[in-house]
A and B are shown apart, each in its own frame.
Chain A
Amino acid sequence: MTNIILEVQDLKKYFTTAKGQLHAVDGVTFQVEKGTTLGIVGESGCGKSTTGRSILKLIEPTSGKILFNGEDITHYDKRKMRPLRTEMQIIFQDPFSSLDPRQTISQIISEPLIEHNLVKGRQAIEKRTLELMDTVGLASRLVNTYPHELDGGRRQRIGIARALAVNPQLIVCDEPVSALDVSIQAQVLNLLKKLQKDLGLTYIFITHDLAVVKYFSDNIAVMYLGQMVEKSSSDDLFKSPTHPYTQALLSAIPYPIVGKDKPERKLIKGEITSPVNLPDECRFSKRCDYTVEKCLERNPALKEISPGHFVACARVE
């Protein structure tokens, strides 16, 4: 069990709003093994980004436990987190707002090096910066350009280089490709995959696009309204999706098939339920095709239906 790099237990994050408690993340539990990728999938507002940011303590969790390499970091303050910043990093969704527009590429990439005193001396910093740019496939001539002069793919590469600068073990990728063109998505994904292989990185890959995680993840967790509804290995999930929400998400992946053989789409009706003051019933029940009385009695917990495959659905209980 020493191979577990990150363990999250019953993580909760509530926001107080004028209407009541907003349950952004409501009891999420998972583990990530070193060198693997956990994909967290769900639609907008399901709490997947909040989960990612809580792990890095960019957001203070309401309750629950976060163990990083066995160390309980749940209640660490900014100062205590500081040494851990070189162990875990984040890649942001929007490469247009995640880079300071007033810094040059070299300043952005070298900032973590200088902040943590990892490399000493101007020339050494410059050398390491160029090295990092080379690692992520940025031409060294771009070193003094500003972010707005570059396209989305290159900007995202800068974000990746910045995250890599501190040699982290764990990187939270918060929808790293969803703001990019499809052609560039593939390039960035390939880069991330190559880096994982070369550097032995562990990823938590947050996305709303199942096609992306299929390519990328060892394990997948599907989130709906702040909770995990299905959690299993990637192969298992794609072979036998059990939760109706997972099934619907899977059928939303476009298939390159034309004509009668095209599989039928299972579309979800309605909108995501408001995450404020939720009643104790299955959170997907209002949009589910199979809702029975049992679903409205209480919120189902995750249950292991086959080794390593967990589902939270009243019908499998």
Chain B
Amino acid sequence: METTIEKTKSRSLASETWRRLKKNKGAIIGLIFLVVLVIAALASGFIYDYDTQIIGQNISQRLQRPSSEFWFGTDQVGRDIFARILYGARYSLSISAGSVLIGLITGIILGAVAGFYGGLADDIIMRIADVLYAIPNIMIAVVIVSLLGSSTINLLLALSVSAATSFARITRASVMTIRGQEYIESANAIGMPNWKIILKHVIPNCLSPIIVQVTLLIGTTIIAASSLSFLGIGVPAPAPEWGAMLSEGRDFMRSASYICIIPGLVIMATVLALNLLGDGLRDALDPKMKT
């Protein structure tokens, strides 16, 4: 008897997920890219001096094409694009990840409550979400930032509002299908309180679409954050935010297209990496994919 217990010792969910994730090449490539990017973003603060190398202008070496000296070339005022990309990862990643995280938590809670209880709670939460959904994200963000004042925290809040509405919708839809399942009734039959049922049975079962949405939304938020920078209410101008770099380079599209193309490629690669990782995670978290 003792040996059976020993043999069947269960692996934790995290190690089980990791074991399955390792088998997915795309997800691992995405994960490596993101890890490298995060390390580079952290390291860039020690490698480069912000005032001279990141925002300091140097007209003598402006508009240089990518070379061994400047891997990604220099922009219209002679700043090293490679350095700015690395440093900019700090802004882009933290703003998008932060606002998606805030939106994720509030959205899941509101969506789960709306879907699980239905009735009045559902009506109130979802009508507010509908109203917010009907207004373009940028507009909501503009209103929030101009009301609260321009700062990174307010920018985070502004971007998280639209993330929260989309998470609330997705969560509610999955929760409504899960609510009718017999295993929820079975949890009721052992007297589990509702909050515990939501946390233990409902949310884990609607994670797949949410994880995919997280990875998609981080990409969209990177772009939304840069649009706000462009409008002057995001990260202020000289800071090397990716979207801001992209829009600053527009005037030089014909003569020095790399100024635009490189930040664009970096944004694309980041979003792609996030999507690959998200796909892999969704599969790895689903016990039905267990091999």
Binding site for B on A (CB under 8 A): 53, 56, 58, 78, 81-85, 89-90, 92-94, 97-102, 104, 106, 111-112, 115-116, 123, 126-127, 130, 140-141, 143-144, 146, 148-149, 159, 162, 166
Give the distance to chain B from A81, nearest Cβ to Cβ, in Å: 6
Knowing A102-B204, A146-B288, the reply to whether A115 touches B4 (Cβ < 8 A) is no
Q: Give, as a whole number of angstroms, the nearest-CB distance from A113 to chain B.
A: 9
Q: Does B24 contact A (CB under 8 A)?
A: no
Name A's interface SS. helix
Contact A90 B186, CB 8 Å, known A104-B10, A115-B191, A116-B191: yes
**Does B45 reach chain A (CB closer than 8 Å)?**
no
What 0/1 readout, one digit per residue, does chain B (256-291) give for beta carbons within 8 Å of chain A?
000000000000000000000000000000011010
In the complex, given contacts A89-B189, A100-B205, A115-B191, what are 16 additional A-B residue pairs having Cβ atoms less than 8 angstroms apart? A53-B185, A85-B189, A92-B185, A92-B186, A94-B182, A97-B181, A98-B182, A100-B187, A100-B201, A112-B190, A115-B190, A115-B192, A130-B5, A146-B287, A148-B288, A162-B190
Chain A residue at minimum C-beta to C-beta distance from B183: A100
Chain A residues positioned under 8 Å from B10 (CB to CB): 104, 106, 143-144
Select the residue from A58, A97, A159 with max chain B CB neighbours within 10 A.
A97
Cα A132 to Cα B10 with chains together (Å): 17
Q: Nearest chain-A residue to B287 (Cβ)?
A: A146
Count A-B contacts at CB 8 Å. 85
Q: Does B8 contact A (CB under 8 A)?
A: yes
Q: How far is the CB of B157 from chain A (nearest CB, A)?
A: 32
Task: Provide the bound-state CA to CA distance between A98 and B192, in Å.
Answer: 15
Chain B interface helix/strand/loop/mixed: helix
Q: Inside 8 A of A94's CB, which chain B residues have their CB? A: 182
Distance between B174 CB and nearest chain A CB, rounded to angstroms:
13
The answer to whether A101 touches B8, judged by C-beta atoms less than 8 angstroms apart, is no
Instruction: List, in ascending order, chain B residues with CB within 8 A of A166's CB.
Output: 190
Q: B238 near A: Cβ within 8 Å?
A: no
Knowing A81-B191, A85-B191, A130-B4 are in contact, say whether A98-B186 is a contact too (CB < 8 A): yes
CB contact under 8 A between A98 and B190, given known A104-B10, A130-B5, A144-B8: no
Closest chain A CB from B255 CB (angstroms): 56
- B186 surroundings in chain A (CB, below 8 A): 90, 92, 98-99, 159, 162
Q: In the bound complex, what is the Cα–Cα distance between A140 and B1 (angstroms)?
A: 10
Residues of B within 8 A of A130 (CB): 1, 4-5
Which residue of A100, A116, A143 is within 8 Å of B8 (Cβ)? A143
Provide the residues of chain A in CB contact with B288, threshold 8 Å. Answer: 101, 146, 148
Q: Bound complex: CA of A148 vs CA of B290, how far in Å?
A: 10
Residue of B nearest to A106 (CB): B10
Q: Could you give, for residues 87-120 of chain B, a 1 whenever the CB lies within 8 Å of some chain A CB and a 0 otherwise? A: 0000000000000000000000000000000000
Residue from B4, B181, B191, B204 having most chain A Cβ neighbours under 10 A = B191
Query: At the interface, yes or no: B193 with Cβ under 8 Å from chain A?
Result: yes
Closest residue of B by beta carbon distance from A166: B190
Min C-beta distance of A17 to chain B, whole Å: 16
Q: Which of A93, A111, A123, A143 contacts B190 (CB 8 A)?
A: A111
Task: Tell me which residues across on chain B come within 8 A of A112, comparing CB atoms.
Answer: 190
- The 10 A-B pairs at the shortest CB distance, nearest first, are namely A85-B191, A98-B182, A82-B191, A146-B287, A112-B190, A100-B183, A143-B8, A97-B182, A92-B182, A102-B204
When distances are taken between beta carbons in the complex, the residues of chain B under 8 Å from A78 are 191, 193-194
- CB-CB under 8 A from A146, the residues of chain B are 287-288, 290
What are 23 A-B pairs with beta-carbon distances under 8 A? A53-B185, A58-B189, A78-B193, A81-B191, A84-B191, A92-B185, A98-B182, A100-B187, A100-B204, A101-B287, A111-B192, A115-B190, A115-B191, A115-B192, A126-B5, A127-B5, A130-B5, A140-B4, A141-B4, A143-B8, A144-B11, A146-B290, A166-B190
B158-199 interface mask toward A, CB cutoff 8 Å, 1 = contact, 0 = none? 000000000000000000000001110111111111100000
Q: CA of A116 to CA of B192 in the docked complex: distance in angstroms?
A: 9
CB-contacts of B77-91 with A (<8 A): none
Contact of B189 among A90, A106, A123 (CB under 8 A): A90
Minimum CB–CB distance for B223 against chain A, Å = 33
Q: How far is the CA of A90 from the CA of B182 in the complex (A)?
A: 11
Q: How far is A81 from B193 in the complex, measured between Cα atoms in Å?
A: 11
Which chain A positions have C-beta within 8 A of B193? 78
Q: Which residues of B contact A98 (CB under 8 A)?
A: 181-183, 185-186
Q: Are the CB atoms of B205 and A101 closer together than 8 Å?
A: yes
Query: Are B190 and A85 touching (Cβ within 8 A)?
Result: yes
Closest-by-CB residue of A relative to B202 is A100
Please name all residues of chain A whose beta carbon is closer than 8 Å to the beta carbon of B181 when the two chains form the complex. Answer: 97-98
Which residues of B3-51 are within 8 A (CB) of A? 4-5, 8, 10-11
Nearest CB in chain B: distance from A97 CB, A: 5
Q: Which of A58, A106, A127, A159 sits near B188, CB closer than 8 Å?
A: A58
B residues less than 8 Å from A92 (CB atoms): 182, 185-186
Chain B's nearest CB lies how many Å from the CB of A79?
Answer: 8
Q: Closest Cβ of chain B: how far from A224's Cβ, in Å?
A: 25
Chain A residues in 8 Å Cβ range of B1? 130
Complex formed: what's the CA distance from A13 to B188 in Å? 19
